[in-house]
């Protein structure tokens, strides 16, 4: 039960006296009414607002969906100035990566007018390794051996969120460190 307090912090005596004067059955009715007014009704209103917000979000999401996206589409990527042509199904093969999130059809992707490619402002040096991994082609022989390049590759893996490849690369580096 919500208890009203006055400025001096004392319980609103009038309200409590009124409650105490009620019979047991009336007290139960009073508490039930307060429960509905102070808890149930605000919860229902909050739930309705949440449902309305969710419906609005779904409408907004649908407006941005690329309804023409097909797995066999060739996506032209401009990674830091280097052009890569990759099938959409390859970009979307590994769930949870940024490439999968960008090209799974949930968003309309803008293309650069000059190159007609989707520009991603990243270092292109090691992208071919990520592409090979996603295309299920041999890629371990492509791993960089220079410590500076290894760190750069790790940064790219982190940015692209290719966790499985990052784990494999870390294991590969650990194995090759012992040699």
pLDDT in tens, 112-139: 888 889 999 999 999 999 999 999 999 9
Residue among 85, 83, 101, 84 nearest 93 (CA): 101
Interval 62-113: pLDDT, tens? 666 665 667 678 889 999 999 999 998 999 999 999 999 998 888 778 888 8
Predicted local confidence at residue 1, as pLDDT: 47
Predicted local confidence at residue 82, as pLDDT: 95
Interval 2-13: pLDDT, tens? 544 444 445 577
Please give the model's pTM, rounded to 2 decimal places.
0.63
Predicted local confidence at residue 5, as pLDDT: 47
The mean pLDDT of 141-158, rounded to a whole number, is: 96
Average pLDDT, the chain: 85
Predicted local confidence at residue 29, as pLDDT: 86
Interval 90-102: pLDDT, tens? 999 999 999 999 9
| Residue percentage of the chain with pLDDT more than 90 | 52
| Residue percentage of the chain with pLDDT more than 70 | 87
């Amino acid at each position: 039960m919500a208890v009203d307090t006055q400025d001096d912090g004392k319980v609103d005596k009038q309200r409590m006296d009124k409650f105490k004067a009620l019979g047991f059955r009336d007290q139960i009715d009073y508490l039930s009414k307060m429960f509905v007014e102070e808890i149930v009704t605000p919860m229902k209103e909050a739930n309705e607002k949440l449902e309305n917000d969710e419906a609005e979000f779904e409408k907004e999401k649908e407006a941005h969906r690329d309804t023409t996206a097909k797995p066999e589409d060739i996506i032209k990527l401009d990674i830091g100035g280097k052009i890569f042509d990759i099938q959409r199904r390859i970009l979307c093969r590994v769930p949870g990566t940024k490439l999968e999130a960008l090209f799974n059809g949930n968003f309309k992707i803008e293309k650069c007018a000059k190159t007609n490619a989707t520009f991603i402002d990243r270092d292109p040096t090691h992208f071919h390794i990520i592409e090979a991994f996603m295309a299920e082609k041999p890629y371990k022989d492509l791993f960089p051996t220079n410590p500076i390049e290894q760190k750069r590759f790790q940064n790219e893996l982190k940015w692209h969120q290719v966790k499985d490849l990052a784990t494999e690369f870390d294991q590969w580096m650990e194995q090759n460190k012992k040699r």
